[in-house]
C-alpha cells in the first residue's frame, strides 16, 4: 500500500496519459507508439530505455497479433518488469548476513537524502532485530554530524563521531573497532557529499573504502549510492560519476513520493545496470521500502 501511495504523483500523471492514449486510439500503429514514447520519456524512463521498451513492445504486438491498444497496456507492464529484472533477476536484497559485522557505505551528493536514508535504514534493521551503529563520516559539511545524531537519537542507535574536519577514514576506523567490541550486526557509514571538488571527494571515498577493506575482508558489503528521484537526469549523471569512481553495489532512490518522474528507476537499472535496492517514499522514519520491481510497476498501473 505504501508503494502505491508513494508513487501517487508518478501514477497520476503517467497512468492518466496512458489511459487517455489507449482510449483515443482505435488501432496500434506507428503514431500510437510515437505518443507512447513521449509519455515514457516525460516520466523520465530515459531515452535508451524507452527505445528498448518500444522495440520489445513492437515485437510483442506482432508476435501476439495485438490489435487493440488496451491490450498493449498489459504488455507494457509485463515488459517493464522484465526490463527491470533483466537476465540476472536484479537482486534487490541488501547483502546483509547474520553472524558477521556487515558494513554499508553510503555515498552521494549533499541534499539527496543520505542522512535521512541512513536513519530510516537503521530503524528498519532495528525492527528486524539487528543491532546497528552509525559512523559520522561526513566531517566536512557543517551540521552533518549533528544531523546524524538527531537520527541516531530518534531511532535509538549510537553514533561514532570525531570533531568536524577530522579524517573520515579515521572516524570509520574507530567505528569499526567500536562495532567489533560491541558485537554489532550492521555498521552504516555516512560520507561527505560535496561535489565542488570532485577529485578530492572521490579520493576521500577511496581512502575510507580502503580502511574498511583492510579491517574486514569482503567489506564493504554494500556501497549504496543515494540519488534524489526528483532531479531526474541529474541523478543519472551522478550515478555515472560515482560508479566510475567506486564500485557502487546498489541505489537508494529518495523522494520518489515527490516526483511524477518515477521512471528514473528503470533508466538506472537499464542504462547503468545498478539495481535500485531501497526507495524513499517520504520524510518519516517508516518511509523507506525495499525496492520490488513488480510492486513498483503494478503501483504505476494500478
Ligand atoms: P543529505 O544532505 O543527503 O544528508 O540529505 P538529508 O537527509 O538531509 O535530506 C534532505 C531533505 O530531503 C530533508 O528535508 C529530508 O527530509 C528530505 N528527504 C529525504 N528523503 C526523502 C524522501 O524519501 N521523501 C521526501 N519527500 N523527502 C525526503
The model's pLDDT over 172-222, given as tens digits with 9 standing for 90+, comes to 999 999 999 999 999 999 999 987 678 888 999 999 999 999 999 999 999
pLDDT at 49: 85
Please give the distance, rounded to the nearest whole angstrom, from the Cα atom of residue 242 to the centre of ligand 1.
Answer: 19
Please give the distance, rounded to the nearest whole angstrom, from the Cα atom of residue 199 to the centre of ligand 1.
Answer: 25
**Any idea what the Cα angle at residue 280 is, between residues 98 and 263, rounded to 5°?**
115
Residues, the chain, total? 302
Q: Are strands 186-189 and 222-228 parallel, antiparallel or unpaired?
A: unpaired
Q: Is the CB of 299 under 6 A from ligand 1?
A: no
Rounded mean pLDDT for each run of 10 residues along the chain, 302 residues in total: 76 84 92 93 85 92 91 87 74 91 97 97 97 97 95 98 96 98 98 83 93 97 96 89 90 90 82 89 94 81 64
Is 29 flagged in the annotation as binding? no
Of all protein residues, the one whose alpha carbon is nearest to atom 6 of ligand 1 is 113
Please give the distance, rounded to the nearest whole angstrom, from the Cα atom of residue 142 to the centre of ligand 1.
Answer: 16
Of all protein residues, the one whose alpha carbon is nearest to atom 19 of ligand 1 is 113
Q: Is the CB of 110 under 6 A from ligand 1?
A: yes
Give the cell for residue 280: 524513499
Instruction: State the complex-level ipTM.
Output: 0.99
CB-based contacts of 199: which residues, under 8 Å, 6+ apart?
none
pLDDT at 46: 82
pLDDT at 4: 75
Q: Is the CB of 281 under 6 A from ligand 1?
A: yes
Is 112 flagged in the annotation as binding? yes
Of 7, 106, 113, the one to substitute when testing ligand 1's pocket (max ligand atoms within 8 A of C-beta) is 113
Number of neighbours of residue 276 by Cβ within 10 angstroms:
26
pLDDT at 42: 86
pLDDT at 215: 97
pTM of the model: 0.90
pLDDT at 1: 60
- The H or E element containing residue 278 is strand 276-280
Give the cell for residue 250: 546498489
Q: Is the CB of 137 under 6 A from ligand 1?
A: no
Number of neighbours of residue 149 by Cβ within 10 angstroms:
15
Residues pairing with 254 in the sheet: 228
Are 221 and 103 spatial neighbours (Cβ–Cβ below 8 Å)? yes
Quick one: which atom of ligand 1 is closest to the CA of 119? 7
pLDDT at 183: 97
Is 292 flagged in the annotation as binding? no
Amino acid at each position: 500500500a505504501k508503494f502505491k501511495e508513494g508513487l501517487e504523483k508518478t501514477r497520476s500523471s503517467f497512468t492518466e496519459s496512458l489511459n487517455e492514449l489507449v482510449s483515443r486510439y482505435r488501432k496500434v500503429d506507428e503514431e500510437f507508439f510515437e505518443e507512447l514514447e513521449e509519455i515514457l520519456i516525460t516520466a523520465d524512463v530515459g531515452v535508451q530505455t524507452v527505445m528498448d521498451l518500444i522495440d520489445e513492445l513492437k515485437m510483442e504486438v506482432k508476435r501476439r497479433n495485438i490489435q487493440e491498444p488496451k491490450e498493449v497496456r498489459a504488455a507494457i507492464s509485463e515488459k517493464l518488469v522484465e526490463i527491470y529484472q533483466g537476465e540476472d533477476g536484479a537482486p534487490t536484497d541488501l547483502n546483509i548476513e547474520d553472524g558477521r559485522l556487515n558494513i554499508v557505505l553510503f555515498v552521494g551528493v549533499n541534499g539527496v537524502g543520505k542522512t535521512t536514508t541512513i536513519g530510516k535504514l537503521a530503524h528498519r534493521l532495528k525492527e528486524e532485530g539487528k543491532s546497528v551503529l552509525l559512523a559520522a563520516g561526513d566531517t566536512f559539511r557543517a551540521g552533518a554530524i549533528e544531523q546524524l545524531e538527531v537520527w541516531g537519537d530518534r531511532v535509538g542507535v549510537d553514533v561514532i563521531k570525531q570533531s568536524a574536519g577530522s579524517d573520515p577514514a579515521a572516524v570509520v576506523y574507530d567505528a569499526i573497532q567500536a562495532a567489533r567490541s560491541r558485537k554489532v550486526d550492521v555498521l552504516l557509514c555516512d560520507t561527505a557529499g560535496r561535489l565542488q571538488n570532485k577529485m578530492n571527494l572521490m579520493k576521500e571515498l577511496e581512502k575510507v573504502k580502503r580502511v574498511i577493506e583492510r579491517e574486514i575482508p569482503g567489506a564493504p558489503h554494500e556501497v549504496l549510492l543515494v540519488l534524489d528521484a526528483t532531479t531526474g537526469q541529474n541523478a543519472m549523471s551522478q550515478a555515472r560519476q560515482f560508479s566510475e569512481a567506486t564500485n557502487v553495489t546498489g541505489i537508494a532512490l529518495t523522494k520518489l513520493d515527490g516526483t511524477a518522474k518515477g521512471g528514473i528507476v528503470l533508466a538506472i537499472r537499464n542504462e547503468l545496470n545498478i539495481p535500485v535496492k531501497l526507495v524513499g517514499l517520504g520524510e518519516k522514519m517508516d518511509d523507506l521500502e525495499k525496492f520490488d520491481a513488480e510492486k513498483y510497476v503494478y503501483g504505476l498501473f494500478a
